[in-house]
Structure 1
Amino acid sequence: MRQNRWMVSLFAAGAVAFSAGAAEAAKPAPAKAAPAAEAKKAPEDVWKLIPDTVAEVDGKSVSKDEFVKFLLKSIPDGKIPEGLTAEMIRKEAPGLVKQMVLDRLISAQVEKAGIKSSYEMAKAKLNERFKSFNPQQLEMIKMQMAQAGKDFEKLLDEQAKNPQVQKDVAIGEFLEKNVMKTVKVTDEEVRKYYEDNKATQFTEPADQPDMVRASHILIMAEEGKAKPEEMKAALDKATKIMADLKKNPEKFEEVAKAESQCPSSRQGGSLGAFGKGQMVPEFEKAAFELKEGELTGPVKTKFGYHIIRRDAAKGPTVMPFETVKPQLTKFLESRKQQQAFLDYIKKLETEHKVKYTMPLEVPQLPGAATAPAAK
């Protein structure tokens, strides 16, 4: 329920409009143009297209002034960005008004349920979310932040102290306990979806003639970032792995899962099929030169050192039900949760006799799920 997500797109549009007009404004003035001081127009009233009453809740009017205050609280320093026009705000206003009304209604329900926002709750939920990440993915995020001079734990702590984040977490806790808890997906529903969509979503097409299929093991040593001794250590490790795999090539997947620093390690190093131009040049050249089953390496790229194996091309492959069942179950749960949320919104609006002045569209959950596809 964060207003900021709405505002980012709105203000970005304003910035684009401002930039587009800058070139026109920079043109030389006509010979008879008025002096700059006289030609300067008064700033536009960006709220002029908003009606005096934007909504009605429980028989009481929600005023334009309340709406303006709501938005200004979401803007850094409470200042309207340059280039933002009344028409831009008018276009976004219906969704923003609904956001404001629902924020009030759900916040009241959260308070009624006795759920209090706090730093402790926010910190716990943020930690819980990051723990759900794949360990290597999380480690990569931390490493990238460190390289950018940012401390992961400090940033997490700052987020947990943010009042809006705390409020969002409290709302999420309420919805989880009171709206989402009834959502269940049966094995029969999962199986039916799989059978109905097997051909379109769970069948991987055959590899194209101009593509290769390969797996790799990456020992990271980023060009320009790793120290000389780190580069040497990475090369030595990759060289040893290559020597061991020449003796025991059947252990490739096992070694990839244990040693590779690429997310593909979860699939035993498999990168699937790819064509020319999809990989960095050094990797592409090495992969395309291999015959099926052959190994090469270490191959140096800007990411580090790779051991590459050319894999056999595949024809059309149907993903087994048991393989996709966990992901598919989550997708169907997410879809049901979205509908439960929309039903809950409708219930709140009906109970509180909500009426909107401007046309509205049915809102969608942020990051609405899409059906899983074959990979």
Structure 2
Amino acid sequence: TYYIAEVNESGITSDQLQKTFLNAISRYDDTALSGLDQSAILSFKKNILDQLINYELFYQQAQKEKIKISNDDINLEIDKIKDNFSSPEEFNEALKANNITPAQLKEDIKRQLMINSILEETRNQISISDEELLEYYNENKESFLELEQVYARHILVETEEEANNLLLQLKEGLTDFAELAKEKSIGPSAPSGGDLGFFTRGQMVKEFEDAAFSLEPGEISDVVQTQFGYHIIKCEEKKEEYSPAFEEAKERISNTLRYQKENEAISTFISKLKEEAVIVYNY
């Protein structure tokens, strides 16, 4: 057997690398893949090999720590996989197509659960103090600022004359705005009754934005001309600019810091394992 790399005398085969590589690129569409040149593919493969080495190091550490995985845990994971198939036969066919035996699948899952356990152990060592949370809040206040937003609908037509006629119908209360948008608007939001959802300043063309932000909830604009044609805008809801207090932002900050610290802890752990390991590259 040809090993492309060895980690403490445990080999990673070129088949393993190729299989993991093909699995990774299957998530990309053809356009993204056709843009990859030879050096990008080599770099991608090198990253995957690094990942396989990291997993091998985690697995060896899990063995060293004698981490036990029960059959119940393994079967639970197999049941989760089976849930993605419409029948047991379809599941078995998928195993055959991928050249995986049920025993191999069990072994792969056991290995993955052992690695997960080691990673979880590393993550659980993280702690974040209130002082750190407050410091992050004070240093990043601007990122928590929620900008003024408008929730609007619009009707877009080609001529000013048609827009004025529709506006007259709306002002006289002869028709519902959303129904009229479905019937008459030529904009892409017509099927949803002209619904544009919430938007902030800078997301729409200036004439449209100025009109939309000048309205109060329930108000309908005069006819507004833009490069797209003639619009009638209805403001459904408005949210003023808002800066959340520390207590409101605390959970969000905690999640951000935890994510950062967990990644740092895992990187440090990998570096330590690599320093203590004998890694041989055979290419």
Residue 202 of structure 1 and its aligned partner are, at CA, apart by 1.9
Q: CA separation of 1:113/1:93 partners in 2, compared to 1, >3 Å: closer, same or farther?
A: same
1:113 partner letter? I
2:124 is the alignment partner of 1:185: no
Could you say which residue in structure 1 is the equivalent of 2:76?
120
Q: Secondary structure at the match of 2:140?
A: helix
Matching of residue 292 in structure 1 with residue 216 in structure 2: yes
**Aligned partner of 1:97 among 49, 73, 87:** 49
Structure 1 stretches of 5 or more lacking a match?
Answer: 1-51, 77-81, 127-151, 217-238, 240-269, 278-283, 297-306, 359-375
Q: Is the 8 A contact 2:146 2:243 kept in 1?
A: yes
Distance 1:67 1:194 in 2: 47
Give deviations 1:342-369, integer Å, cap 9, x for gaps: 11111211222335578xxxxxxxxxxx
Q: Which residue of 1 aligns with 2:98?
A: none
CA distance in 1, matches of 2:84, 2:3: 43
1:213 aligns with 2:213: no
Q: Could you say what secondary structure the match of 1:184 adopts? A: coil
Distance (Å, rounded) in 2 between the aligned partners of 1:154 and 1:53? 34
Q: Is the 8 A contact 1:214 1:271 kept in 2?
A: yes
In structure 2, the residue matched to 1:202 is 144
Show the 5 A alignment for 1:1-375. Answer: 54-58=4-8, 60=9, 62=11, 66-74=12-20, 75=22, 89-111=41-63, 112-115=66-69, 118-121=74-77, 154=84, 163=105, 167-176=111-120, 178-199=121-142, 201-205=143-147, 207=148, 213-214=150-151, 271=198, 273=200, 275-276=203-204, 288=212, 291-294=215-218, 309-311=236-238, 314-315=240-241, 317-354=242-279
Whether the 8 Å contact between 2:69 and 2:110 is mirrored in structure 1 is: no
Tell me the distance in 1 between the aligned counterparts of 2:41 and 2:282: 15
Q: Which amino acid aligns with 2:134?
A: R
Structure 2 vs 1, CA of residues 56 and 192 (structure 1 numbering), >3 Å: closer, same or farther? same
- Equivalenced residue count is 194
- Structure 1 position 103, deviation (Å): 1.9
User: Which residue of structure 2 lines up, in the alignment, with residue 231 of structure 1?
Assistant: none
Which structure exhibits the higher relative contact order, with contacts defined as CA atoms closer than 8 Å and separated by 6 or more residues?
2
Once residues 69 and 45 of structure 2 are traced to their aligned partners in structure 1, the CA distance between those partners, rounded to angstroms, is: 30
**Whole-angstrom CA distance in 1 between matches of 2:204 and 2:253:** 32
Counterpart AA for 1:310: E
TM-score (norm 2): 0.51
Unaligned runs of 5+ in 2: 24-32, 95-101, 154-175, 177-196, 221-233
The CA distance in 1 between the partners of 2:58 and 2:281, in whole Å, is: 17
- Structure 2 residue matching 1:73: 3-state secondary structure: helix
**Cα offsets for 1:111-167 (capped at 9, x unmatched):** 43123561314657x9xxxxxxxxxxxxxxxxxxxxxxxxx95459979x9946675
State the distance in 2 between where 1:204 and 1:292 align.
Answer: 19
Query: Are 1:214 and 1:308, in contact at CA under 8 Å, matched by a contact in 2?
Result: yes
Taking the aligned partners of 1:353 and 1:69, their CA distance within structure 2 comes to: 22
CA distance in 2, matches of 1:56, 1:167: 18
Q: Could you tell me whether the CA contact under 8 Å between 1:294 and 1:310 is conserved in 2? A: yes
Aligned partners of 2:136 and 2:13: how far apart in 1?
43
Contact 2:144 2:243 in 1 (8 A): yes
Question: Equivalent pairs: percent with the same residue?
Answer: 20
User: Which amino acid counterpart does residue 180 of structure 1 have in structure 2?
Assistant: R
In structure 1, the partner of 2:189 is: none
**Cα distance in 1 for residues equivalent to 2:235 and 2:83:** 35
For 2:123, what is the secondary structure of its paired residue?
coil
Distance 2:37 2:200 in 1: 48
Cα distance change, pair 153–192 in 1 and its aligned pair in 2 (3 A): same
